[in-house]
């Protein structure tokens, strides 16, 4: 784990690191914001998973999250969205497949299966690395994300029962098995068996009886991808059928961009700070 950048923000530090990933079999880059409180004690962490075409850089420069994290005493962990490198499989003419589009699954199909293990990276390898090397409380973490990263946050929280204190999402791909984005990536990374797809689909996981975690989801009504890609109503219905706690806030006039995220990121970090409270606040 090599630090390659450090910038002071709001009394804390926005750092960038590289390391050799065993999950993805390549050099991975990620950013961490450490609040002022981290100078004297270990702090809880919120993991942010970014969307299609993004790296760790988008959220740290566009969301305005660090100001809130500094006030709330939260570390922000911001991984990349896929493996990177010259020898990593890619589809250069597709923004929604390959590099920048790891979809937070463990690929089973060649040639993707060697490197595209973003699920293991996010839920296991990266937290272990963070907790061993930075002033972050072991196991005290929450997760959120946007679009493809919202999908990632949802499945991590639903599949890893008890691993996260809270979960939320901005405009998540809530039912990827029937979304064109999801179908393209799942078919490529996981093959033709749709039952395999369902193990990485938040709506299908809920239907199948996974443990439920309360969810906060914000969705813009003017999101150009809402009707054909995102399907939040499917996840809402699946939660309701099981009596689960899902708050879906339809935000009037907002689109799919980081302008939307920046408008509500403070709400989400406050939501996670409350869940991460208790004996260490």
CATH of the domain at 22: 3.40.50.1820
| Residue 173 domain flag | yes
Is 256 one of the catalytic residues? yes
Going by pLDDT thresholds of 50, 70 and 90, the confidence category of residue 257 is very high
In which domain, by residue range, is 143 found?
2-276
Q: What is the pLDDT of residues 225-240, one digit of tens each?
A: 999 999 999 999 999 9
Please give the pLDDT value at position 30. 98
Fill in the DSSP letter of residue 229: I
Query: Torsions phi, psi of 66, nearest 5?
Result: -65, -35
Structural domains of the chain, count:
1
- Tell me how far apart the alpha carbons of residues 172 and 151 are, in angstroms, rounded to a whole number: 5
DSSP assignment letter at 33? E
Say what the pLDDT of residue 279 is: 40
pLDDT (mean) for 84-97: 95
263 domain residue, yes or no: yes
Q: Which of 175, 256, 268, 272 is catalytic?
A: 256
User: If you average pLDDT over every residue of the chain, what do you get?
Assistant: 97
Euclidean distance between CA atoms 182 and 146, whole angstroms: 14
Give the pair of three-digit tokens for residue 109. Answer: 């199909």
Q: Which residues contact 27 (CB under 8 A, 6 or more apart)?
A: 18, 19, 20, 21, 84, 85
- Sign of the Cα torsion 262, 265, 267, 273 reads negative
Using CA atoms, how far apart are residues 81 and 55, in angstroms rounded to an integer?
6
The strands making up 246-251's β-sheet, listed across from edge to edge, are 2-9, 12-21, 26-34, 75-79, 43-49, 136-145, 167-170, 215-220, 246-251
**Per-residue pLDDT tens over the stretch 15-60:** 999 999 999 999 999 999 999 999 999 999 999 999 999 999 999 9
Strand locations in 92-155 (E): 136-145
Calculate the dihedral angle through the C-alpha atoms of 247, 48, 74, 215, rounding to the nearest 10 degrees: 20
Residues 123-160: pLDDT tens digits? 999 999 999 999 999 999 999 999 999 999 999 999 99
Number of other CB atoms surrounding residue 218 within 10 Å? 25
Selecting among 56, 90, 218, 223, the annotated active-site residue is: 223
Is residue 281 in some structural domain?
no
Q: Which of 23, 82, 142, 147 is catalytic?
A: 147
The distance of Cα 192 from the centroid of its chain, to the nearest Å, equals 25
Is 56 among the domain residues?
yes
Q: How confident is the model at residue 281 (pLDDT cuts 50, 70, 90)?
A: very low
At 52-83, the pLDDT tens digits run: 999 999 999 999 999 999 999 999 999 999 99
In a domain, 148, yes or no: yes
The answer to the question of residue 72 being in a domain is: yes
What does the block give as tokens for 131? 């907790």
Question: In this predicted structure, what is the pLDDT of residue 278?
Answer: 47
147 is catalytic: yes
Reply yes or no on whether the pLDDT at 273 is more than 80: yes
CA torsion 241→231→170→84, rounded to 10°?
A: 120
Given a cut of 70, is residue 253 above it in pLDDT?
A: yes
The size of the chain, in residues, is: 281
């Amino acid at each position: 784990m090599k630090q390659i950048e450090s910038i002071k923000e709001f009394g804390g530090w926005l750092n960038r690191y590289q390391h050799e990933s065993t999950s993805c079999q390549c050099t991975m880059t990620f950013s961490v914001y450490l609040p002022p409180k981290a100078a004297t004690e270990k702090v809880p962490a919120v993991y942010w998973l970014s969307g299609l075409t993004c790296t760790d850089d988008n959220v740290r420069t566009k969301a305005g999250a660090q100001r809130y994290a500094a006030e709330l005493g939260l570390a922000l962990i911001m991984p990349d969205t896929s493996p990177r490198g010259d020898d990593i499989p890619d589809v250069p003419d597709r923004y929604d497949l390959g590099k920048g589009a790891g979809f937070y699954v463990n690929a089973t199909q060649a040639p993707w299966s060697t490197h595209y293990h973003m699920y293991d990276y996010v839920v296991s390898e990266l937290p272990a690395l963070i907790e061993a090397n930075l002033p972050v409380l072991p196991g005290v973490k929450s997760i959120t994300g946007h679009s493809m990263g919202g999908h990632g946050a949802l499945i991590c929280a639903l599949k890893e029962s008890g691993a996260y204190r809270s979960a939320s999402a901005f405009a998540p791909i809530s039912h990827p098995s029937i979304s064109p984005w999801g179908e393209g990536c799942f078919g490529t990374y996981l093959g033709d068996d749709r039952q395999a797809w369902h193990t990485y689909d938040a709506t299908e996981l809920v239907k199948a009886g996974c443990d439920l975690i309360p969810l906060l989801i914000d969705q813009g009504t003017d999101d150009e991808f809402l009707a054909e890609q995102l399907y939040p109503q499917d996840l809402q219905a699946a939660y309701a059928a099981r009596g689960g706690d899902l708050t879906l806030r339809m935000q009037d006039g907002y689109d799919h961009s980081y302008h939307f995220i920046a408008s509500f990121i403070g709400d989400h970090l406050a939501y996670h700070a409350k869940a991460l409270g208790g004996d260490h606040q």
